[in-house]
Structure 1
Amino acid sequence: MTAQRPEHLTPARVASHLGVMLAVAAVLGVVVAGLAIPFAGVVGIGAKNVAETMDQLPAELETEALAQRTQVLDEDGETIATLYDQNRVNVQLSDVSRVMVKAIVAIEDYRFYQHGALDLKGTLRAFITNQASSGVVQGGSSITQQLVKLTLVDQAENKKEQREATDDSYARKLRELRYAVALEQRHSKDWILERYLNTAYFGDGAWGIQSAARHYFGVNASELKLPQAALLAGLVKNPYGYDPTKFADRAVARRNVVLDRMTELGIVKGKRVERIKKRDLGLDVQTTPNGCVNARAPFFCDYLLNYLLKDRSLGRTAAERRDLIFSGGLTIRTTIDLQAQASADEAVTSAVYPESEAIGGLAMVEPGTGKVRAIAQSRPMGRDRSAGQTYLNYVVNQKYGDSAGFQPGSTFKVFVLAAAIEQGVPTTQSFDAQPEMVIPEYEFEDCDGEPYGYGTWPVGNSTSSGYMDMYRGTRESVNTYFAQLEQLTGICEPYELAKAMGVDLTNPEGEGPGLPERVPSFVLGIPDASPLEMAEAYATFGARGLHCDAHPVVAIEDSRGTVLKEYEPECEQVMQETTADAVNDILRGVIEGGFASAQALGRDAAGKTGTTQNGQAVWFVGYTPNMAAAAMIAGANESGTPKSLEGVSLGPTTIYNASGSYYAAPMWGSAMRGILDELPAESFTPPSSVTSYSSGTDDFDDDDFDDE
C-alpha cells in the first residue's frame, strides 16, 4: 500500500535524521551503514546548515519502471524468442515464497519492519559482528538505503551518473539518506521490499527474484524452498563473487552464513539447518535465450524487430522504440505459424546447404490478411562464415532486411498479364511470338502517355515460339509474347500495379544507384525484389485482387497484459475480382501441365516460374486461395554479392542449367506440402467470360524446355 505524500521536511526533522548519522559516525569513526561520514568531516557543521542542505535535495526518488524481458509469441501463444537488456520478470511480494522473504530480511536488514530509513541499532550490531568475524558478515545499510542505491545505478543514463551513484562521497550519502527517508514516508514497507527483490541483481544475468529462481533452480519465486532461498539471499551482497555457477564453494559458504543467521533469529531450527548445510547447492540452471540468433525462427525475428523499430507509434525515436522492446516487458503476438516455419526451413535447407555459394530463401504470406507465416533462408544466423552463417536477412524487403533483393525474372510477367486483363484485353488475345524479335522502344507508352523511345529492344525466347494466346504464352513463359502484350498495356500500368501489390519499386527512371525499373524489359523481371515482396504480391491474386500489406505482428501487450496496439490487416482492392479470377485460371496451367507440373498439390494451386537471363537467380512463386509462397535460389558469395548459378554446388546437387522449374519449384512444393494438413482445400473462383485453362495447346512435360 502506498503511504501519503511526505510533509515538507523541516530543519528539525532533517536534523533528527542526520543526528542518527552523526551519532554513528562519532561512536565508530568509520564507514558504517553505507554512510561514509568521517567524524572530522562533520565537526562544525551546524544542524541548521545541514538541514538547509538536505532541504534543497529532491523530496522524492523517481522510481521508474524496471526493465523487464519481452516475450515474442507465435500465433498459438508459444514463445519463439525473448528480448531483453536485463533478464527480469517483476512479481508481487505475495508471489514470493515466505521463506525467501524471511531469508533476505534476516541477512540484509533483520529489523526492516521495525525501523525507519536508517537503523542505528542494526548498524551498530552489524559493525560489532563484522569486527568480531574479521570480515563482513552482516550488512549495515537498511534495505531502503540499498534500494535507493540500486535505483540510482539502474536509472543512470551515462557514465557520469553511474559514478555519482556509486562514489564514496559525503554528498552521495546525504542524497541517499534523503531519498531513503522520502521512500519510507511515501511507500509501505511491503512496497519497498517488493521493489527491492525485483530490482536486485542475483548474478549470472538474473535480475530480480523471479528470474533468479527460474535461472538457478527452474522454479518460480513462489516455490523457493529454504536452501534455495538462503542461497539467493546471500547473492545480493556480491552477485559475482558468490556466483554459484562460477564459485560453488564460496556460494555454499555464503548460503550457510544466511542459514546460521536465520537460526540465530529463530526463523528456522538448528537441526534442520545443519542437515541442509551438508547438501550441495542443488542447482538446475536454466538459460533464457536472448535475441534473434537464439530464436526458433531467427530471420522472422529479425524481420519483426526491424518492422517494429520503424513503427513510430511505439516511440518518437528508434532509441525509444528499442528501449520499449528490450526493456518494456512486452508480450508481442506475431503472425508466425511454427508448422509453416518448420516446413519452410526443411524445404530450404534440404535444397541449398549453408556453405553453398547460393542462397535459398522462402517466404509465406496469407492471402486476405497479409500475415507473414514463415521466413526461411539457407544460411543460418551467426558469425561463423566458414559454416555459412550470416546475420544478413535476404528474404525480406530491404527496408526490413539487408539485401536489395534479386531479379525475379519471368515471375514479373503476371503484372503485365493482370494489367492487360484489367484493361479489357481478352485472354484469347494472340500474337505471333517469334523466336527473336527486335522491338522499337517508342512503341511502348510510358506514364506520361508519350512513347518510351530510347532505341530498340531485342527479345528472344528460351522456351517455345509460335502463334499463341495468354494461356499458352503464360504456361510456356514466352518472352516475345509478353513483350507484345506489354506494347498493348504500356509500361506504366503494370509497373504501378506491381507497386500496389507490394513490390518495393523505387527507382523508375534509374536515378541514383541501380538500374532503371520502368522500362520495356520490366516484364522480364529486371528490378530487384525479395521473396517476401513476391509472396505478398501473389497473395493478392489468391485473395481475388485484395492486396494486404505483409506484416509480422498481431498485437503488443504491456507487462500487465494491457493491449498497447493491435495490428489490423491493411488491405485495398487493387484489381477487379474477375481480373484476379482470370489470372488464377491462367496460372493454374503452369502447375497443371506446365513447367511446374511436378509440384501439383492435389488441389487448386497456381504459380509462375522465373529465371534471370544471366542465370543469377531462379524463382517459383505460387499460391492457393489461402497461402502464397515465394521460393528463390540466388547465386551469391559469402558477402551476398550476386553471381551466376551456373556450376554452383547447392549441396545435394550442382546447377548446370539454371531454371526455376527444376530448382526453385521443388523447394516451393516441399514447403507447401508440409502444411496442406492445416490448410482447408479451397478452390479458386471460376473466371467469367474467359477461356478455361484446359483449352489451348496440348500438355507438355517439364523436359520439353530447358528454361523459362
Structure 2
Amino acid sequence: MLLVAAVLGVVVAGLAIPFAGVVGFSARNVAESVDDLPQELETEQLPQRTEIEDINGKTIATLYDQNRVNVPLRQISRTMVEAIVAIEDFRFYQHGALDLKGTMRALLTNQASGGVAQGGSSITQQLVKLTLLNQADTDEERKAATDDTYGRKLRELRYAIALEKRHSKDWILERYLNTAYFGDGAYGVQAAAQHYFSVNAKDLNLRQAALLGGLVQSPEAYNPTKNPAQATVRRNIVLDRMAQLNVVSEADADAAKAKKLGLKVKNQPNGCLNSGAQFFCDYVVRWLMTDDALGATTQDRKRLIFNGGLTIRTTIDMRYQRAAQQGVSGQVYKGDQAVGALALIEPGTGNVKALAQSRPMGTRKGETFLNYVVPKKYGDANGAQAGSTFKAFVLAAAISQGIPLTKTFPAPNPGYFPENKFETCDGPYQSSGVWEPKNSTSSSANPNLYEGTRNSVNTFFVNLELATGICEPYKLAKQMGIRSLTKDNIKPSFTLGVVDVSPLDMAEAYSTFAARGLHCDARPVTQIADAQGNVLKKYDKQCTQVLASPVADAVSDVLRGVVEPGGFGSALNPGQPAAGKTGTTNGNYSVWFAGYTPNLAGAAMVAGVKPNGNQQTLDGKSIGGYVRASTAGSTTAGPMWGDAFKAIAPLLPDENFVRPSSTDVAGLLVTVPPVAGKTYDDARAELEALGFTVARGGSVDSRLARGLISYSSPGAGGQLATGDTVTLYPSDGSPAKPKGNGKGKKGKGKKGRGNG
C-alpha cells in the first residue's frame, strides 16, 4: 500500500488532475488518505430487464431501466473475452488491482501530450467506477463516481484492491462484461450482442467481438448505428492489438478488417407501450405494484419489477387477446367520441384472458394512457354506469330466497314506487320520495323471471327488488367482484345499475354464474421468477363459493334466454351454449353486454367520452364508422362481445350449462352450520358429512387460539347445495390489529361471515 501510495503521489497528479502536484499532495498525504477509505465495495445485483410472458411462456413485453441480461463467463465467447482484455487491460491476469506498468505508461503518454490522452485504469478499477456509477441513487453520488479528482482515484483503487482480494479474476471479468455500457441502450455483453448482431454472447465471432470490445472506451462516439466510420476505425484498432499480442493471427485480423461491420440491429422494446397487449401489460405492472411482498415501499416494488430481471408469467392467451382487440376495434374506432372496452375472464380460476379497448396507448390523437377496462385503482379511469347488467344480482338474490322462476310480478309503465318501501341493510330506505321509473322495452303485464329478464323490463325488476330487498343483491354483487360498491349504492335504483363499474369487475362477477356460484378474484399473474429462474412467488387462485350451485345454474338458465332466439342478444350467440345480459343507461351515456359460456366470461362496454374526458351520450355520435341515432347494449356493446366470442369459440371445450332442478332451488339447499372455535379437522368432518366440499383458506387474525377456525365462507346460516365449497379460515392466534395502524397484514377484514 505504501508503494502504491508513493506511486499515486505522482500518478494521480498526472492522470486525474495534471497540476495537483503543485498544490501540496505528497506520498505521506496519499498514504494517510488511503488508510482512511472504506475497504469493501458492496456489489449489488445489476439491473436487468424483466420479461412479461403470456400463458404459454412467450414474451409479450419487456421492462427495464437498463437493457441488460446477465450471463456467466462460460456463456461469453472466448473471442469476446480475448478482445476486451487485449484492448482494455492485456496484462489483466498478471497484475493486481493496479497495473503499475500501464499506469506509468499512461502517465508518460499524457505528459508528452500535455493532457489526458491515455487512461491507466485496470479492468478492476474500471469495474469499480462502473459499479459506483450504477449504484448511485442521487446526482451527488453520480458526480462523485465520475469526477476526475484525487479522492475518486484513491477510493477506486482501495475498492479495486478489495475486489481482487475477495473475488477471482474470472469473476471480475464476468462482472465487468455484464456491467459495461456498449452504447445504443445496450448494457452488458449479452444485450449488446443481441442488439447489434441478433446473436447471443456465446456466439460472437472475431469481427463482432472486436467491434464490441472497442465500444466500451466511448460507447456513443463509436456507436456503429450512428457513426459507422469511427466504429470501423475503432474495431480495426482492436483487431490490430489482438494480432500484436498474438491472440489472433495477422491474416485473421486482416480478413476481419476487410469486412463490413455486419450489423443486424434488433431493438429491444421497452415498456407496455411496445407490447401487443398494452393495457393488459399495464394492468399487470400496476397489480403487482400493490403487492407488499415485492417490497416495503412503492419505490422498492418498482425497482424490483423494472430492474430485477424477473420473469412474470401471466394468464393472458394472445389468441383471445387478438380476438378481443379485433372485436373492439371493429366496432369502435380510436377517434370516436366513445371508448369501447372488453374484458375476458376464465370461470373457476379468475384468470384474466384478455383486455382490449378501442383507444390504443399513447399521446397522439385517438390515444390514451387511461385504462378503461380495469378498476380505477389499476387504470385511472372512473368506469361507467353499468345499467341493467345489475339486474342479474337481483335475479340471483331472488332465486336464493326461494322465489320460483315462474313467479310473476307487475310491470307497469311507468311505475309508482314509494322509496321508503325498499328494505336496505339497515331497515327501510330513508326517503319520503316516490320513484317513477319507465320501461324501455315491452312485455306482458305480469312477466315471470324468465320473461322479465329476457326483455329487461325495468319495473318488473323494481318489483322484484321490493321482494328481495336491496341488501342481499348489494352484498352479492360485492362478493362477486364489484369492489367499487359503497353503502351509498344501497338505494332503490340499484337494480338499474350503479356508476363507476369497470368491464373487468363485471366480467369477474358474471364468471361466478358460469362457475356455478364459485367466485374467483381476477388474477393476471400466476408466478414470478428471478433472473436465475427461482420462483419468488406464486399467485394461487383465490376462490370462494358465494352462490349455491343450483342458484347459479338457475340464473344461467334465465340469462340464456337473452342470447337465444327471441332474446335481445340472439345475434351475438357464438355457436355454443351462452348466457348474458344487456345494459343500457338513462341518456345512453354507456351501454353494456355481459355474457358467458360455461368456460369463458366477458363484459363489453361502450361509453361516451368527450375530448376533455367527461362522459356524454352516445346517441347521435359516429361510432364505428356511422352515426348512431340511438344506442343499446345489444346493438352497440354486444357486437364487440359477439365478434370476440365467435372467434374464440373454436378454442373452447364443448361444455353445457347444468339445467336447474326446481326441487333443488325450492327446498334441497343445505344450511352451513357454525364452525367457529372448532379444530380444522372437526369442522371439515362436520361439513363433509353434510355433503360440502371443504377448502382451507389462509390464517387470519383472531382472538381464538392458533389453529381453531375463526370463520367460514359462506358463513353460518348460508345455504348451498351438496358438493358446493365451504372455505375455512383458521386463527393465527393474534388479535386483529386496530384500524389505522397501516399494517393490514393478515386480517383481511372478512366481515359478515356469520361465524365470528
Relative to the length of structure 1, the TM-score reads 0.91
1:125 is the counterpart of 2:105: yes
1:55 is the counterpart of 2:28: no
**Shift in Å, 1:430:** 0.6
In structure 1, what is the equivalent of residue 75 of structure 2? 95
- The amino acid of 1:19's aligned partner reads A
Q: 2:406 aligns with which of 398, 420, 428?
A: 428
> Aligned with 1:351: secondary structure?
coil
Measured at CA, do residues 135 and 247 of structure 1 come closer, stay the same or move farther in structure 2, by a change above 3 Å? farther
**CA distance in structure 2 between the partners assigned to 1:488 and 1:37 by the alignment:** 93
**CA distance in structure 2 between the partners assigned to 1:454 and 1:316 by the alignment:** 50
Alignment of 1:178-257 (within 5 A): 178-257=158-237
In structure 1, what is the equivalent of residue 452 of structure 2? 473
In structure 2, what is the equivalent of residue 9 of structure 1? none
**CA distance in structure 1 between the partners assigned to 2:284 and 2:151 by the alignment:** 46
Measured at CA, do residues 335 and 306 of structure 1 come closer, stay the same or move farther in structure 2, by a change above 3 Å? same
Q: Deviations over 1:533-572 (max 9, x none)?
A: 1100000000011111102101000000000110001111
In structure 2, what is the equivalent of residue 683 of structure 1? 656
Q: 2:483 aligns with which of 504, 520, 523?
A: 504
In structure 1, what is the equivalent of residue 610 of structure 2? 637
1:437 is the counterpart of 2:419: no
**Shift in Å, 1:37:** 8.4
- Kept in 1, the 8 Å contact 2:79–2:205? The answer is yes
> Aligned with 2:377: secondary structure?
coil
Moved more, 85-94 or 430-439: 430-439
**CA distance in structure 2 between the partners assigned to 1:687 and 1:657 by the alignment:** 37
- Kept in 1, the 8 Å contact 2:410–2:463? The answer is no
**Shift in Å, 1:129:** 6.2
1:113 is the counterpart of 2:93: yes
Note the aligned Cα RMSD (angstroms). Answer: 1.9
Q: Deviations over 1:385-421 (max 9, x none)?
A: 2xx1111111101111121111111111001000111
Measured at CA, do residues 263 and 250 of structure 1 come closer, stay the same or move farther in structure 2, by a change above 3 Å? same
> Aligned with 1:666: secondary structure?
helix
1:461 is the counterpart of 2:431: no
**CA distance in structure 2 between the partners assigned to 1:523 and 1:260 by the alignment:** 81
Q: 2:575 aligns with which of 565, 590, 602?
A: 602
> Aligned with 2:410: secondary structure?
strand
Alignment of 1:170-185 (within 5 A): 170-185=150-165
- Kept in 2, the 8 Å contact 1:108–1:139? The answer is no
Measured at CA, do residues 589 and 670 of structure 1 come closer, stay the same or move farther in structure 2, by a change above 3 Å? same
Where structure 1 has 5 or more consecutive residues not aligned to the other structure, the ranges are: 1-13, 510-516, 693-708
Q: Deviations over 1:29-68 (max 9, x none)?
A: 621xx6878434565552xx64443233211000000000
**Shift in Å, 1:125:** 3.4
1:284 is the counterpart of 2:257: no
Q: Deviations over 1:519-545 (max 9, x none)?
A: 101100133211101100000000011
In structure 2, what is the equivalent of residue 562 of structure 1? 534
**CA distance in structure 1 between the partners assigned to 2:398 and 2:485 by the alignment:** 23
1:16 is the counterpart of 2:13: no
**CA distance in structure 1 between the partners assigned to 2:651 and 2:568 by the alignment:** 27
- The amino acid of 2:600's aligned partner reads M
Moved more, 589-598 or 531-540: 589-598
- Kept in 2, the 8 Å contact 1:103–1:262? The answer is yes
Measured at CA, do residues 285 and 613 of structure 1 come closer, stay the same or move farther in structure 2, by a change above 3 Å? same
Moved more, 555-564 or 454-463: 454-463
1:651 is the counterpart of 2:624: yes
Q: 1:39 aligns with which of 16, 21, 24?
A: 21
**CA distance in structure 2 between the partners assigned to 1:670 and 1:142 by the alignment:** 63
**Shift in Å, 1:655:** 1.2
Q: 1:484 aligns with which of 463, 475, 482?
A: 463
- Kept in 2, the 8 Å contact 1:544–1:580? The answer is yes
**Shift in Å, 1:130:** 7.0
**CA distance in structure 2 between the partners assigned to 1:684 and 1:494 by the alignment:** 23
**CA distance in structure 2 between the partners assigned to 1:43 and 1:371 by the alignment:** 67
Q: Deviations over 1:477-529 (max 9, x none)?
A: 001100000001111111111111101234322xxxxxxx2110110013321
**Shift in Å, 1:644:** 0.4
Measured at CA, do residues 300 and 569 of structure 1 come closer, stay the same or move farther in structure 2, by a change above 3 Å? same
> Aligned with 1:682: secondary structure?
coil
Relative to the length of structure 2, the TM-score reads 0.85
**CA distance in structure 1 between the partners assigned to 2:110 and 2:333 by the alignment:** 63
In structure 1, what is the equivalent of residue 543 of structure 2? 571
Q: Deviations over 1:73-111 (max 9, x none)?
A: 000001000000000000001111011101100110000
**CA distance in structure 2 between the partners assigned to 1:691 and 1:433 by the alignment:** 28
Measured at CA, do residues 53 and 654 of structure 1 come closer, stay the same or move farther in structure 2, by a change above 3 Å? same
Measured at CA, do residues 452 and 583 of structure 1 come closer, stay the same or move farther in structure 2, by a change above 3 Å? farther
In structure 2, what is the equivalent of residue 329 of structure 1? 309
> Aligned with 2:279: secondary structure?
helix
Q: Deviations over 1:177-215 (max 9, x none)?
A: 110110111110000000000000000000000000000
**CA distance in structure 1 between the partners assigned to 2:250 and 2:108 by the alignment:** 23
1:624 is the counterpart of 2:597: yes
- Kept in 1, the 8 Å contact 2:9–2:27? The answer is no
Q: Deviations over 1:423-449 (max 9, x none)?
A: 111112211211211100111011112
1:81 is the counterpart of 2:61: yes
In structure 1, what is the equivalent of residue 362 of structure 2? 382
**CA distance in structure 2 between the partners assigned to 1:526 and 1:229 by the alignment:** 63
- Kept in 2, the 8 Å contact 1:88–1:206? The answer is yes
- Kept in 2, the 8 Å contact 1:332–1:553? The answer is yes
In structure 2, what is the equivalent of residue 408 of structure 1? 386
**CA distance in structure 1 between the partners assigned to 2:59 and 2:330 by the alignment:** 26
- Kept in 2, the 8 Å contact 1:648–1:654? The answer is yes
1:533 is the counterpart of 2:505: yes
- The amino acid of 1:402's aligned partner reads D
- Kept in 1, the 8 Å contact 2:97–2:161? The answer is yes
Measured at CA, do residues 280 and 131 of structure 1 come closer, stay the same or move farther in structure 2, by a change above 3 Å? farther
Alignment of 1:580-591 (within 5 A): 580-591=552-563
Q: Which has the higher contact order (CA 8 A, sep 6+)?
A: 1
In structure 2, what is the equivalent of residue 4 of structure 1? none
**CA distance in structure 2 between the partners assigned to 1:622 and 1:464 by the alignment:** 22
Measured at CA, do residues 518 and 331 of structure 1 come closer, stay the same or move farther in structure 2, by a change above 3 Å? same
Measured at CA, do residues 292 and 188 of structure 1 come closer, stay the same or move farther in structure 2, by a change above 3 Å? same
Measured at CA, do residues 269 and 451 of structure 1 come closer, stay the same or move farther in structure 2, by a change above 3 Å? closer
> Aligned with 1:631: secondary structure?
strand
> Aligned with 1:82: secondary structure?
strand
- Kept in 2, the 8 Å contact 1:36–1:168? The answer is no
- The amino acid of 1:551's aligned partner reads R
> Aligned with 1:113: secondary structure?
coil
Measured at CA, do residues 135 and 78 of structure 1 come closer, stay the same or move farther in structure 2, by a change above 3 Å? farther
Measured at CA, do residues 37 and 19 of structure 1 come closer, stay the same or move farther in structure 2, by a change above 3 Å? farther
- The amino acid of 1:198's aligned partner reads N
In structure 2, what is the equivalent of residue 612 of structure 1? 585
1:493 is the counterpart of 2:435: no
Measured at CA, do residues 691 and 178 of structure 1 come closer, stay the same or move farther in structure 2, by a change above 3 Å? closer
Moved more, 127-136 or 357-366: 127-136
- The amino acid of 1:678's aligned partner reads L
Q: 2:320 aligns with which of 323, 340, 351?
A: 340
**CA distance in structure 2 between the partners assigned to 1:83 and 1:582 by the alignment:** 45
**Shift in Å, 1:663:** 1.6
Percent identity of paired positions between Structure 1 and Structure 2: 57
- The amino acid of 1:203's aligned partner reads G
- Kept in 1, the 8 Å contact 2:327–2:640? The answer is yes
**CA distance in structure 2 between the partners assigned to 1:270 and 1:644 by the alignment:** 77
**CA distance in structure 1 between the partners assigned to 2:2 and 2:474 by the alignment:** 78
Q: Deviations over 1:339-365 (max 9, x none)?
A: 000000000000011110111100000
Where structure 2 has 5 or more consecutive residues not aligned to the other structure, the ranges are: 666-756
